[in-house]
Amino acid sequence: MNIDKILAEMSLEEKASLCSGEGFWHTKSVERLDIQKIMMSDGPHGLRKVNEERDCVTDESIEAVCFPTASALACSFDRDLIEKLGKALGDECQAEGVAVILGPGANIKRSPLCGRNFEYFSEDPYLSTEMASAYIKGVQSRGVGTSLKHFALNNQEYRGMSVSAEVDERTLREIYLASFEGAVKNAKPWTVMCSYNRVNGVHSSENPKLLSNILRDEWEYKGLVVSDWGAVDNRVNGIKAGLDLEMPSSLGKNDKFIVEAVRLGKLDIKDVDKCVRRILELIDKYEDGKKSNIIWDKEKHNKLAAEIESECMVLLKNEGNILPLDRSKKIAFIGRFAESPRYQGGGSSHINSYKVTSALEAVKDICKVTYAEGYNTVEDETDDKLLSEAVQAAKECEIAVLFVGLPDLFESEGYDRSHLRLPECQIELIERVSEVNENTVVVLHNGSAVEMPFADNVKGILEAYLGGQAVGQAEVNILFGKKNPSGKLAETFPRKLSDNPSYLNFPGEGDRVRYQEGIFVGYRYYDKKEIEPLYPFGYGLSYTTFEYKDIDISKSEMNDDEEVTVTVTVKNTGKIKGKEIVQLYVNDEQSSVIRPIKELKGFEKVMLNPGEEKKVAFVLDKRSFAYYNTDISDWYTEYGKYNIFVGSSSRDIRLKTCVYVAPTNKIRVEYTLNSTGGDVMSTEMGKELFKEFLKEVNAGINSGSDKSEGELSMYNELPLRAMVSFSDNANITREKLSQFVKRLNIMINSDLY
């Protein structure tokens, strides 16, 4: 496609027309110029291709394969696995003539109450961006585009199309934009989807700071920006801000505003041309990679869905090694989700699955079990007959496996959860069953964290999340030991909702929600506040055990424009093969700004046979140590000691080392007479110069440079100017203090430091 030639031949009306969709799922075509329309389709954990254009909600989508949702996928901590999933989805899109699948969702799980959390990866931006990058690379390797969403701060459903997320710049950069930044830079998604909400008062769909200044200028994004469906408020402002494509169709209404604004001189035609060019580039990219010989093997992809979910489930408790189950024992499967599992979320990502495998069906290939329904999912009321049957089944068996979780009624796109509890009828079921059978195992089906008042009363807990259409097969594989569980939590499970950092400010007041917890989201908060969670970020058990040893670092000192490699050796000390997720966290030991205790900066999943050991390597760069400095509007690494923790979870640190990092672009420091002694002594040079000054003004007195740390600490909170008033030493004058400050600024900002 000769884009320059086409642009030159297009009329203003044609250009404006191309900037919005045709119907719900297609871009517009321009037959006169041989511009073909292309199709977008909902995702991200399966292909939701709607047969008709009339209505995105009521029309039935094609039969497809439902893979595990993002909430489960992230628990795999497995880039290769997620990329494999992406390739399968890319092939499906090619087979169905879909140019762009609408995913992945990289928004941060600020609160476990968000109704759409099942579609998001993690509370941690590094894990989120790594998972999103792998997904994008997989899909786009098949000549199909992705749409990284929802940019940005789409963290609740309450008033989701109008609420303004009020957030400070550092929090915005370190947490909420960071989950997109790596994916944009490393994986280069064909499209980025802007969110419904406003950010600090400005709609994302017309936010120049987000769409142009950050996304295009800073991150050098070259692809297309598409609106979330119905997110456009002012189309002309959107064009100016960098929103290329409005979806779905506005039936030409907004196209007319574009034409009118250009003719009245309120909109530069060059801005329209930029949008049209990117739309044409997207169409051209898909047409160039279009394949007609792709065969969609649904059964093969169903097996892949089971394989993936087996890698994602998290074993939370295994008292007395009750798992894996002994098939020779009498076992009862209890709970409706054993027969009809909840395996996906509601809303735009809902897949019309061509088949669903329940645990009750899959277990037939292993052994015979007793089944009791236990509860219904239509309403949260105890059915005495179902409960009685379940308790009786539990009494008559040696092991009771309870399949419970959140029904569709409790969580979905479109509304947020009001609490973290399971349905009361299920809680009662768990209590009654565990009373009559001490060997009770709970299998959870949910899109986000739940409270577990039953945790101390059962012997096993397996978190399946929303595991896709083959969830039952995967559950049986784990329960009976055909697969060794290897997933770890991508979010913190609090003991109670009020422990969550967003508790006092979610979902906000009216059309404003304040992110007053700042950078302390998820485990960053629980660590800083010393709150013991129910299960911490990165936690997950295995049927084998692992030993960590021999941590090594390639250098002990570095500049922040260099890289450092950290290696550790991990050994399988158990009797069966298994996979361990090795996690690396970084801690700034002495920071001038408030920072988390630790932040995830690396992870690797490693397979080990019994007795086998492998060396795992992590490469750390400037961003591994930096924070976002709002004074310079850039990432900055302070000089100092950085501790490096390696462990099995955020609360299970096995090894530790450190590195000293120096900034290459030092921030100029300007001390004044209002600076405190603590400010001055925050650097080694400042401390030495302060000691020298004290020695000079105390000439002949044996208390100058030999002052102890305790004596020096008395100056920590004292402004330099106050030393004149609080000292009976006549040598300490304002003039001498001014001279000291001048010398200090010269030395501290010189190349010698």
Averaged pLDDT, 126-137: 98
Pair of tokens at residue 443: 């299998």
| DSSP secondary structure, 477-534, as one string | HHHTTSS------SS-B-SSGGGSTTGGGSS-BTTEEE-TTTT--THHHHHHHT---S
Catalytic residue among 228, 416, 527, 588, which? 228
Q: Per-residue b/e over 424-463, b at no fewer than 16 CB within 10 Å?
A: ebbbebbebbbeebebbbbbbbbbbbbbbebbeebbbbbb
Share of the chain above pLDDT 90, in %: 88
Phi-psi region of 200 (alpha: psi -120 to 50; beta: other; left: phi over 0): left
Strands 640-649 and 634-636: unpaired
Q: How far apart are CA 210 and CA 228, in angstroms?
A: 15
* Residue 410 main-chain phi, psi, to 5 deg: -90, -25
The helix/strand count (H/E) of the chain reads as 24, 29
CA 64 vs. chain centroid, Å, equals: 26
Averaged pLDDT, 66-75: 98
CA 80 vs. chain centroid, Å, equals: 17
Q: How far apart are CA 335 and CA 428, in angstroms?
A: 12
Asked if pLDDT for residue 709 goes beyond 90, the answer is no
* Residue 495 main-chain phi, psi, to 5 deg: -70, -35
**Cβ atoms of residues 405 and 444 within 8 Å:** yes
Asked if pLDDT for residue 120 goes beyond 90, the answer is yes
Asked if pLDDT for residue 486 goes beyond 80, the answer is yes
Pair of tokens at residue 180: 């997109």
Q: Is the pTM of this model over 0.75?
A: yes
Q: What share of the chain is helix, strand, coil (3-state, %, to 5)?
A: 35, 20, 45
- Give the count of beta carbons closer than 10 Å to the beta carbon of residue 79: 18
| DSSP secondary structure, 589-608, as one string | SS-SS---S-EEEEEEEEEE
Averaged pLDDT, 236-263: 97
- Give the count of beta carbons closer than 10 Å to the beta carbon of residue 556: 10
Give 704's pLDDT tier (boundaries 50, 70, 90). Answer: very low
Q: How far apart are CA 19 and CA 252, in angstroms?
A: 10
pLDDT-wise least confident of 188-192, 323-327, 680-684: 680-684
Asked if pLDDT for residue 394 goes beyond 60, the answer is yes
Asked if pLDDT for residue 57 goes beyond 60, the answer is no
Strands 352-353 and 63-64: parallel
pLDDT-wise least confident of 385-394, 598-607, 631-640: 631-640
The confidence score (pLDDT) of residue 752 equals 45
Q: Which residues 6+ apart lie within 8 Å of 58 measured at CB? A: none
- Identify residue 675 by its one-letter amino acid code: S
Query: Which tens digit of pLDDT belongs to each residue from 617-630?
Result: 999 999 999 999 99
Domains and CATH numbers, the chain: 14-289 (3.20.20.300), 306-529 (3.40.50.1700), 546-662 (2.60.40.10), 677-748 (no CATH)
* Catalytic (active site) residue 751: no
| DSSP secondary structure, 438-467, as one string | SSEEEEEE-SS----TTGGG-SEEEE--S-
Q: Helix/strand/coil (H, E, C) string of 668-699?
A: CCCCCCCCEHHHHCCCHHHHHHHHHHHHHHCC
Q: From residue 283, how far is each of 96, 161, 278, 456, 697 by CA, in Å?
A: 16, 29, 9, 56, 75
Give 669's pLDDT tier (boundaries 50, 70, 90). Answer: confident
Give 59's pLDDT tier (boundaries 50, 70, 90). Answer: low
Asked if pLDDT for residue 500 goes beyond 70, the answer is yes
Asked if pLDDT for residue 13 goes beyond 90, the answer is yes
The confidence score (pLDDT) of residue 702 equals 46
Query: Which tens digit of pLDDT belongs to each residue from 139-177?
Result: 999 999 999 999 999 999 999 999 999 999 999 999 999
Tallying the residues shown for the chain, one arrives at 753
Asked if pLDDT for residue 58 goes beyond 60, the answer is no
Q: How far apart are CA 709 and CA 725, in angstroms?
A: 22
Asked if pLDDT for residue 324 goes beyond 60, the answer is yes
The confidence score (pLDDT) of residue 614 equals 98
702 by DSSP, 3-state: which? coil
Query: Which tens digit of pLDDT belongs to each residue from 683-697?
Result: 888 888 998 888 888
Share of the chain above pLDDT 70, in %: 97
Q: Is the peptide bond before 617 cis (omega within 30 degrees of 0)?
A: no
pLDDT-wise least confident of 67-81, 263-277, 589-603, 695-709: 695-709
Q: How far apart are CA 722 and CA 373, in angstroms?
A: 76
**Which helix H or strand E contains 303, and what residues bound it?**
helix 298-312
The confidence score (pLDDT) of residue 384 equals 97
Averaged pLDDT, 524-548: 98
Q: How far apart are CA 146 and CA 193, in angstroms?
A: 10
Averaged pLDDT, 451-466: 98
Q: What is the mean pLDDT of the chain?
A: 95
